[in-house]
Structures are given as structure tokens and as C-alpha cells.
Chains A and B, each alone.
Chain A
Amino acid sequence: MPDPPPAPLLTLRGIGKSFLGVRVLDGVDLDVAPGEVHAVVGENGAGKSTLMKIVSGAYVPDEGTVELAGEPRAFRGPGDAQRAGIGIIHQEFNLLPERTVAENVYLGHEPVRRGLVDRRAMLDRTGRLLASIGETALPADARVGRLGVAQQQVVEIAKALALDARLLIMDEPTAALADHEVELLYGLVRRLQERGIGLLYVSHRLTEVFDLSGRITVLKDGRRVTTVDTADTTADELVRHMVGRELSSYYPDRAGPGDVGPVRLTVRDAGNQKLRGIDLQLRAGEVLGVGGLQGSGRSALARALFGVSPFTTGDVTLDGRPVRLRSPRTAMRAGIAYVTEDRKGEGIVPRQSVLDNALLASRAIFAARSGRAARTERVRELLAAVEVRAAGDDQEIRFLSGGNQQKVVLARWLALDPRVLLFDEPTRGIDVGAKSAIHDLVRRLARDGAAVLMISSDLPELLGMSDRIVVMRDGRLAGELPAGATEEDVVALAVGNVPETAR
């Protein structure tokens, strides 16, 4: 695999892309040779997905050139790229569960004889295609919805091959697979390589990257940091390339030794469909940071604690009393608040006023009639206290900036006097000024005695804000780090590259 690659199949030169003035890709170069597995790694938001979408025709690059087998190409859409021989296997499969394997593989280009769909040919060709990648056990007439995730992935790959794909993009192909299925995928990848198909392999998991790839390109903040031969590098070196930025911004002071109070929330050996063996303690007055990659179970943890998708096993105690958090309503009544990651979808009601949004939770929880005026008064005070900038309480919240919307969401929860606050990406999509205002608020809440759990993909924020950090991987807590840990520590735990000493 480390041989010098033959004439490249795909050549990217100087690819740049901006969204709404934000530069997400800048001057990225990349080559893939036939039969080569080229891995692309980087943190969340490093630009991997955008780059893959450009190669697969979903986005048009602002700058730079895409060449396929030496020919410059400008794809006008995913269909264009498909016809040129570029297939993409998304994390979320593009399959119809109600249809058979063959019907899915040939969707959009069904073999036709005398104007009618030739079922026999469709089944035969699908069978041959599956056999050619060593999948003889998969019947071409099985309904896709009955197949396991790994088999569905095979169907996706067959679907791409049916279009004569020469280059396959795999975006986190193992994210949905169980451990033993990963081995099967390895075999499949090697057979695709033997057929001379080039593979762009995007993954967070360094183990896989080292097992499969010939070369690795590291992206960071939309730029290519380096491209290395896999044989010549180590996991530690890669992690250093992936992070390595200065902690420049200001964060409020951490909790002093006197500030941290008694244990508020204890989770013992809890789990559900997405989480396993969670042991956790949250103390009054501290901010517990939760790190990890997307899909590692961070949000699932917050959603379990808030009763959205509750724990099915294990115990939770709040202030020493066992609680069952089986719905958001019970969680709220127990004193837990949740600031969701998806502010637009789950956090605000866009067409309602600032005041209505801020009153949402109190109205839902407290008996309807009593103390209505007092409640409104209190929420008004809270809105002022968190310094929401709006034209008035009756302005529709959708016209506010992201930061101000988030403050309204905060005021909503503060009206309930929560004892435990769960923040999921509290500053995502919020401008710098409002960010530090939110940081100050979070810290102030902790100082006033609340227990705070804060999920963040923004490593400087996670390190700057947290008194303690737990890192998640594959639905488990991969490890705990004290304040003052480095970005490398967090990333190493998150991708599963744990030095022997830590075990």
C-alpha cells in the first residue's frame, strides 16, 4: 500500500468554500489513486463533510478544481457526480426499507426489456454485483428493512457499484456498526481496493484509519494541515495535527475549592439504547464538561437525564432521593433544565413572542391560574437580568440574534429555579460577544448553587469552562479529566487512542 500511487483518479486543487461569509474550506489539495484508501481526519467542523459534499456534487466549490481521471469536472448536482463514477455512502443510508435489495440497487435505472422492468435481469445483476464483492449470503429479493445495518451498508455500496462507481466516499462507515461487523467492512473495503476503486474514507476512529488507509489527510479549520503516508506516522502525531491551537479567549474563573458543594445528581450504572454503563456525579456549584465526538452519546446523555429518551437501566438520585426521569415533565418537576443543541428546532417557538417563549416552561409546569401576573413579572425580571436585547417583550423571537434567543431560553429555565442545568452546545452559532455573556451566565448559575453539565464540541470552550471533564465514546464514558487538561487529552480519549499508562 505505501508504493508510490499511480496516476491519480481524483485530484483536488485549491478547493475553497464559504457559507454566508464564513470560510469553511480554504485551499484544500487532495489526490486519490485507483485502489487507494485515502483517509480524511479532523475535528468536528474541520470541513470534512463540506469537502466530501463538493466531491460528490452536492456543493459547488467557490474556488479550485476537481479532476476525475485527469479530466476537469464541474458537477452541477449529485446526479452529475454519480454519472461520472463517484459514489457516496452516507452515514444515514439512502435506502427504501419497504423495497427489495434489487429494487433499491437499481432504483432510477431499472433494467428494462420491451418497455417493462425486467425483474429477472434486475435480480440476476444484483446477485452478481453482490457476489463480486463477496456478499453471497445476501438475497437480492430480501426487503431492505429486514436487513441489519451492516447488510444495508453493503446494499448502499452495491447501489454505488451498479452505477460503475470508480471512486467511493465513505463517511463514517463504521459509526452505525457493531464491533464484529467492522471486520466485515474491512474485508469489503479490501475487495473494493482490489477492483481498483479509489476510496475516500472519512472517520473519527484512528484505529480504522491506521488499519485501512494508505495515506491520511488531516484537516483543521477548513485547511489541509498535512498529508502523510500511514506507515510513516503515529496516532499521537495525528492527534497533534488535528488540534494544536491556542487558548486565546477569555473564560470566567473556575469554581474555587469552597464553591463546590454536595453531590446533587448521581447516576449509577445507567443505560439505554444509546448509552451503556454511565456512572456520573454532579456537584452543586461545579461545571462538568462533557466532551466526545458527534454521535458518541453526549446528547443522548443529556436527553436521558431530561427524560426525553430515558434510561432503561440503572438508578438516578437527585439530592439523595431516587428519581425516575421518564419524561421531560417529570425531569422539570424534579428541577432539571435542558438547553438543547438544536435551538431552532427544539429550543424556541420561532413565531411566538419573546415573553411567550420565556414563559413556556413555567406555564406548562405550574397550575394555570394562580399567580399569573407575578409569574410574568418574574420572567420580565429574568429577561432583564440575562440582558436580552429585543425591541420589546412582544417581538417575535425569530427576529432576535442567536445569542439573544439563547438568553431567552435560559430565562425560561431560570424561572423554574432549576437545581440541575444541562447545556448542549450552548454557544453553537452564536457570535463571539454573546458567547462570553453566555459563559458568564453559566458560571454565575453554578456559583449560585446549581449543578451544571455542559456538552461542547468547541474544545477551547470545553477546557476553559469546565471544572471537570468527562469524555464519551460509543455511548460510554471513556474517561475523566481534571481542569487544566489539554486538547490532546480530550481528543485522545474521544478517538480511543489511549496511552497505555492511562489504562
Chain B
Amino acid sequence: MSARSLLPARRPVPGVFVALALTLAIGWLVVLVDGGQLFNQSTTVSLLHVAAGLGFVAVGQTLVILGGSLDLSVAYVISLSTLVAAETMNGNDGAVVPAIGLALAVSAGIGLLNGLLVTKLRVNAFIATLGVGLLLKGYLDSGYDGPAGTTSPTLVQTLGYQRVGPVPLSFLLLVAVTGMAWFALSRTRFGHHLVAVGGDAEVARLSGVRNDRVLVTAHVLCSLCAGLAGIYLASRLGSGAPRVGTEGLYDLESIAAVVIGGTALAGGRGGVVGTVGGVLLLASIDAVFNQLDVDAFFKQVIRGAIIIAAVAVYARRALRKAAS
């Protein structure tokens, strides 16, 4: 009888956490030399807030990318979700539940559309989700010039600003969402099938997996996560914001976080834990640069370099694995 173990096959610690630790250590030192303090209450809190917003989107993005797909419409889904939530609430505490429900339902609907375009009409995911994103952009641009609606004060006080020690409630929610996604990937048939579809769609199909259904589900979940990020941002900003998704670059940053977190862009390998590492890494770099008052453009250059370096490292590793 072979050795029994409940642990999944031993996997190396995702390199992203090593990079995260290094970034924090170096950042701390540099900031210290500069005369600042990286780990004080306010920077930590703002770092975690940034991470929470991006984190929701990136966890959802991980699911579709694992399945070999992609979602470029998330930024617009976020903007739309802030508006749906804030306008439905209109400052009224009693309307919180229906508002959140409606925002999530609209997001899920968009995810369903994405999923159906990708699976049934066989439109390439890049094009399909970009197209859906542009549709939403048209609606947002024509309907809104600026912030609209008012988020209920209770939601602002709780999801938006409440903390447990230095940890915002929203970050705890991200941890919970990540936990659920991890659980879904490792302990449900859906998760197993999703990774199989991303790894090799033909193998999955020949093994009896219903590829289309799995991918549509992943797209719905991804959009739901983006919708959740929208609700969170609405509670931070106090109103609906038609440009918040695109200005925050949530589409590309979420994909970057997924890739830095070790998930293969082609699908079939990776997971949500690494993604959260990637999100924290990007947020930490932000925090360090803010402390150092680095020029915003230079910040982008450094982020670009880090993303390229991360992908290059993974590519090398994959090469070595193939060679051995």
C-alpha cells in the first residue's frame, strides 16, 4: 500500500512570499535611512486597504486564469458595481442588503455574459471580455460625469473604515474570500475540473469534464469578486464612482498580481494564496514609494520592471523543469 497522506503533493513555497519579505525588509531599511517609519499604524492600515481592493479582483481573476481564460472587463464591472450599490442605497441604511444584492447580481450577469461569449460563441477571452468592458465603458461614460449616489453611512463605517487593531475589516473579508476560493479549488469537483480545463482542455473533455459549464462558472465567480471590490470601494469613497475601476488600473494590476503570484497565464497551474502574495507585494511597493515621496511615473516604471522580472523568473523555472 502506498504512503497515505492528506496533504496535497508537497509544493515549494511560492517565490512571491520570499520576494514580499525581501521587499518589506529592504523597504523598511530604505525608509528608515530616509528618516521615516514603514510599519507605523497609518501606513500599515493604508497598505492593507489597497491590498483589499485589488485582492478581491485578483482572487476572482485567478479563477478564470487558472481555467485558461482571462477577464479584462473587471475594471468596468467595479465602476458599475460602485454606482449600482451607491445609487440603490442613496444614503439609506435600510437599503444596504438589497443594494449589495443588486450590485452582485448585475456583476454575476456580466460574468455570465463573458462566460457564454467565451464558451458558446468561442470568442477569444481577450477579445470577448475587452468587448464587454467597452460596452460597459460606453454606458458609464454616457450616463455619468462624476460621482453619483450615496453609500449608506453604516456601510462606510463598517466595511469602509472599521478595523481590528491595524487590520481593516475589508482585509479580513479578503482573507475569508481567499479561503473560500482556496477551498473551492482544492476540495470541490468544480475546482479540480477548472484546473484540468486550464491545464489541457482536451484531456479534461475526454475525462468527462463539462468544460463549458466549468468556465462559465469561473467567469461568474470572477465578476462577483469584481462586484465585491466595487461595493468595498463605494464604502470607502462614500459614493458611486464611474471611473474608479479604470483609474485604479484594476484590470491589468489584477492580472499582474495573479502572474506574480505564480499562476501560469496559460492556466492549469497556480492558486489564490500566491495571488494574495502578489497583491501584498504590489501594495507594499506602493507603500514604500509613498513613504519616500517617489515620483508617480517612476513608480510605474519600477512596477513594470518587477512584473517582467517575476514572469522571467517563472519562465526560467519552467524551462529548467522541462529540461530535467
Task: List chain A positions with a Cβ less than 8 A from chain B.
Answer: 78-79, 82, 94-100, 103, 107-110, 112, 115-117, 119-120, 123-124, 127-128, 130-131, 136-143, 145, 159
Contact in complex: B193, A100 (CB < 8 Å): no
Contact in complex: B209, A107 (CB < 8 Å): yes
Q: How far is it, in angstroms, between the C-alpha of A109 and the C-alpha of B204 when the chains are bound?
A: 11
Contact in complex: B9, A143 (CB < 8 Å): yes
Stretch of B30-38, B100-108, B194-202, B309-317 that contacts chain A: B194-202
Q: How far is it, in angstroms, between the C-alpha of A159 and the C-alpha of B3 when the chains are bound?
A: 19
Contact of A96 among B9, B189, B199 (CB under 8 A): B199
**A94 and B207 in contact (CB under 8 A), knowing A99-B199, A112-B189, A117-B187?**
yes
**A127 and B2 in contact (CB under 8 A), knowing A116-B187, A117-B189, A143-B9?**
yes
- Residues of B within 8 Å of A78, CB to CB, are 206
Contact in complex: A142, B4 (CB < 8 Å): no
Contact in complex: A107, B192 (CB < 8 Å): yes
Q: How far is it, in angstroms, between the C-alpha of A108 and the C-alpha of B186 when the chains are bound?
A: 14
13 A-B interface contacts by CB (under 8 A): A96-B268, A98-B195, A99-B195, A100-B8, A107-B193, A107-B207, A109-B208, A112-B189, A117-B188, A123-B6, A130-B2, A138-B2, A141-B7
Contact in complex: A98, B2 (CB < 8 Å): no
Q: How far is it, in angstroms, between the C-alpha of A98 and the C-alpha of B268 when the chains are bound?
A: 7
Contact in complex: A95, B6 (CB < 8 Å): no
- Residues of B within 8 Å of A107, CB to CB, are 192-193, 196, 203-204, 207-209
Contact of A120 among B6, B9, B188, B200 (CB under 8 A): B6
Q: How far is it, in angstroms, between the C-alpha of A264 and the C-alpha of B263 when the chains are bound?
A: 51
Contact in complex: B4, A127 (CB < 8 Å): yes
Contact in complex: A98, B192 (CB < 8 Å): no
B321 lies within 8 A of chain A by Cβ: yes
Contact in complex: B196, A145 (CB < 8 Å): no
- Residues of A within 8 Å of B208, CB to CB, are 79, 82, 107-109
Q: How far is it, in angstroms, between the C-alpha of A159 and the C-alpha of B1 when the chains are bound?
A: 18
B5 lies within 8 A of chain A by Cβ: yes
B contact residues, range: 20 to 34
- Residues of B within 8 Å of A79, CB to CB, are 206, 208
Interface string of B1-22 (1 = CB under 8 A from A): 1111111110000000000000
Contact in complex: B2, A103 (CB < 8 Å): no
Q: How far is it, in angstroms, between the C-alpha of A127 and the C-alpha of B6 when the chains are bound?
A: 13
Contact in complex: B4, A108 (CB < 8 Å): no
Nearest-CB distance from A461 to chain B (Å)? 33
B269 lies within 8 A of chain A by Cβ: yes
- Residues of A within 8 Å of B204, CB to CB, are 107-108
Contact in complex: B206, A94 (CB < 8 Å): yes
Contact in complex: B9, A119 (CB < 8 Å): no
Which of B1, B189, B204 is packed against the most chain A CB atoms within 10 Å?
B189
**A131 and B1 in contact (CB under 8 A), knowing A100-B8, A107-B192?**
yes
- Residues of B within 8 Å of A96, CB to CB, are 195-196, 199-200, 203, 268
Contact in complex: A108, B207 (CB < 8 Å): yes
Closest A residue to B199 by beta carbon equals A96
- Residues of A within 8 Å of B191, CB to CB, are 117
Contact in complex: A108, B188 (CB < 8 Å): no
Closest B residue to A143 by beta carbon equals B9
Q: How far is it, in angstroms, between the C-alpha of A493 and the C-alpha of B207 when the chains are bound?
A: 39
Nearest-CB distance from B24 to chain A (Å)? 30
Contact in complex: A99, B4 (CB < 8 Å): no
Nearest-CB distance from B135 to chain A (Å)? 30
Q: How far is it, in angstroms, between the C-alpha of A38 and the C-alpha of B50 when the chains are bound?
A: 65
Shortest Cβ-Cβ A-B pairs, 3 listed? A108-B208, A108-B207, A96-B199
**A141 and B5 in contact (CB under 8 A), knowing A95-B203, A108-B204?**
yes
- Residues of B within 8 Å of A82, CB to CB, are 208
Contact in complex: A141, B199 (CB < 8 Å): no
Nearest-CB distance from B133 to chain A (Å)? 30
- Residues of B within 8 Å of A98, CB to CB, are 195, 199, 268-269
Closest B residue to A140 by beta carbon equals B2
Q: How far is it, in angstroms, between the C-alpha of A100 and the C-alpha of B11 when the chains are bound?
A: 11
- Residues of B within 8 Å of A143, CB to CB, are 9
Nearest-CB distance from B186 to chain A (Å)? 8
Closest B residue to A116 by beta carbon equals B187
**A136 and B2 in contact (CB under 8 A), knowing A119-B187, A141-B8?**
yes
